[in-house]
Structure 1
Amino acid sequence: MSDKQKGILCLVASSFCFALMNVFIRLAGDIPSIEKTFFRNFIAMIVAGIAMARAHEGFAYRRQDLPLLTLRSVCGTLGMMCNFYAVDHMLLADATAIQKLVPFFTILSSWLILKERIKSWQGGLILLAFAASLLVVKPGFTPDLGPAIIQFAGALAAGFAYTYVRQLTLRGVAKPKIIFFFSAFSCIAVIPLIAMDFVQPDAYQLLMLLCTGLAASGGQFAITYAYGFAPARQISIYDYSQILFSALFGLVFFGQLPDWLSWLGYALLIAVALANFVLSSRPDKSDPTHPAADPGPTDPDSHRKERTA
């Protein structure tokens, strides 16, 4: 297999794992979303800590990086809690489709924070992606409107989180250290909230919570390997296979069948993602960060590697 084929395979495996993670989240039952966030990140913290130890990375952080690490962690924690809530209260495929607006929100947050220019075609695609999400949500005609708004907010928070990840990566902070800080911060931050409304999981729910963390870790490893094999501009479109996996799992596990408007929204969102994939792959020699302008090694869209951290 070529490196590109290996990258595609790993990215599809990652989408499968993240879709499965959402299944386990829902199967965990009436455990509060905050409690589910703790279990998911506790296992991620252990995995990241092991990765840091194997890479001989120290656990000390530079003082100047702490504000960005904190902002990344706050936004990431909010995004994750919103996603878990939406998964519990919406069709799996619908919640996943809205969550896939994150790359477009990342473009907006990069414009606000990093002052990166938004090209005209990017602005058009953002509007089309929003229109696709309205087909999924069907505002005013569905009881899922409240959870959908929460998922929109979560996707926006995640977009800002990935922009902060990009800033930290450009500063030279190792990715396992970013993941470890975020996971540890999230676990500690939600403990007071859990104490206020703690629900004792039974054996089955505890198993589902552990499976949530394991599936998320599997997805994290798979996506890291994927972008190690091939640059994002060549394979990122396959990340949207998670919508299809979620639709399949929703039908198999919960008997969920999206309506035709939702399917139309999925198709439009995937089409917009494909257009973004194709247009982003075109050489732009006026951009010094584009691979066509720099024949040397590049770090392809490193902020996407941390999507679920």
Structure 2
Amino acid sequence: MKVEQKTKAIFYMLISALGFTLMSVAVKAIPGIPLFEKVFLRNLISCLVAGFLLIYQRRGFYVKKENRFPVFARSFLGFLGVIANFYAVERLLLADSNMLNKLSPITVSIFAVLFLKEKVDKQQVIGIIVSFIGALFVVKPSFSLSVLPSLAGLASVTFAGLAYTFVRYLNDKENPNIIVFYFSLMSVVCSAPLAIYNYVNPNPIQWIFLISIGLFACLAQFFMTYSYKNAPASEVAVYNYSGIPYGIILGYLLFNEVPDIYSLIGGIIIIVVAIYLYNHNKKRK
């Protein structure tokens, strides 16, 4: 692989992580807009873009019979993941929600072992356990309702892990735009009734943030796709963890949020384990 290609891939992944963080900023910046209204707009834009690409590529919208259940499962689990993620983002510090969100590669590894029979070694198992110890520092478990947003963040990465396991299964079986289209379409259809029921008419500023949620999510996914096209996932996935410092910096600058010492320890643990597993997986290959 050429150095220029890898440099491009790293740059695209850094931009992708920033895009997802800015999406979270937009979600958090309009607390007066109901959750499902945000979910609807986030997925409507992705649905339109993916649909346009399928028409442009003359690919069509047909899904092979044997792939229909995996596409449905990925779509529904992804929809649940977005709901839980937005709920957590609205109520947690931006940095904390970003830290928990970066556990999704770990949950993917767990479900890939359980359902796809992928192999893991002792070092990877230790890395997974230590990552969740880091998550406990962020969550700070307690027997009160104050822990619900953190549990939502963990639920989000669990649903995301299951959803991306189906994406991994569909890797060479379906066009990526088909997967994105049906995930977005299901999210639009399922969120529309609740978005309409609790509809709040946004003011012009709120409209800008609502549209930004969809645009940032779409751009982040686009840059992530191009990152993986220019280099193997094992070479660039670790750079997605740049979302943690992005969250800390933007949370402080925009919302005057400062993570406590436990969250910072948890974030450092998650990043260190990610770098360790990145180097370990490169040596394995």
TM-score by length of 2: 0.95
Counterpart of 1:235? 236
Deviations along 1:215-242, one digit per CA (max 9) or x if unpaired, are 1111111111111111122222111000
User: Contact between 1:29 and 1:205, CA under 8 Å: does it hold in 2?
Assistant: no
Aligned residues: 283
Q: Identify the range of structure 1 (75-84 vs 275-284) with the bigger mean alpha-carbon deviation.
A: 275-284
Counterpart of 1:307? none
Counterpart of 1:197? 198
Following superposition of structure 1 onto structure 2, how do residues 102-117 of structure 1 map, counting pairs within 5 Å?
Answer: 102-117=104-119
- 2:100 is aligned with what amino acid? I
Aligned counterpart in structure 2 of residue 91 of structure 1, from 88, 93, 115: 93
Counterpart of 1:62? 64
- 1:79 is aligned with what amino acid? G
Q: Distance in 2 between matches of 1:33 and 1:126?
A: 31
Counterpart of 1:33? 35
* Aligned-partner SS, 1:199: coil
User: Contact between 1:40 and 1:209, CA under 8 Å: does it hold in 2?
Assistant: yes
- 1:102 is aligned with what amino acid? S
User: Contact between 1:133 and 1:269, CA under 8 Å: does it hold in 2?
Assistant: yes
Q: Distance in 2 between matches of 1:237 and 1:95?
A: 18
Counterpart of 1:44? 46
Q: Distance in 2 between matches of 1:240 and 1:175?
A: 23
Identity %: 34
| Shift of residue 142, structure 1, vs aligned partner | 8.7
Q: Identify the range of structure 1 (253-262 vs 134-143) with the bigger mean alpha-carbon deviation.
A: 134-143
Counterpart of 1:212? 213
- 1:47 is aligned with what amino acid? V
Aligned counterpart in structure 2 of residue 147 of structure 1, from 138, 149, 152: 149
| Shift of residue 283, structure 1, vs aligned partner | 3.4
Gaps (5+ residues) in structure 1? 285-309
* Aligned-partner SS, 2:113: helix
RMSD between superposed Cα atoms in Å: 1.6
* Aligned-partner SS, 2:31: coil
Q: Distance in 2 between matches of 1:61 and 1:141?
A: 45
Deviations along 1:191-236, one digit per CA (max 9) or x if unpaired, are 2222332322222212111011111111111111111111122222
* Aligned-partner SS, 1:169: coil
Counterpart of 1:287? none
Higher relative contact order (CA 8 A, sep 6+): 2
| Shift of residue 65, structure 1, vs aligned partner | 1.6
Q: Which runs of 4+ in 1 moved over 4 A?
A: 141-144
Residue 274 of structure 2 is aligned to residue 273 of structure 1 = yes
Q: Distance in 2 between matches of 1:283 and 1:246?
A: 31
Q: Distance in 1 between matches of 2:284 and 2:252?
A: 41
Following superposition of structure 1 onto structure 2, how do residues 289-308 of structure 1 map, counting pairs within 5 Å?
Answer: none
* Aligned-partner SS, 1:177: helix
Q: Distance in 1 between matches of 2:261 and 2:153?
A: 21
Counterpart of 1:305? none
* Aligned-partner SS, 1:2: helix
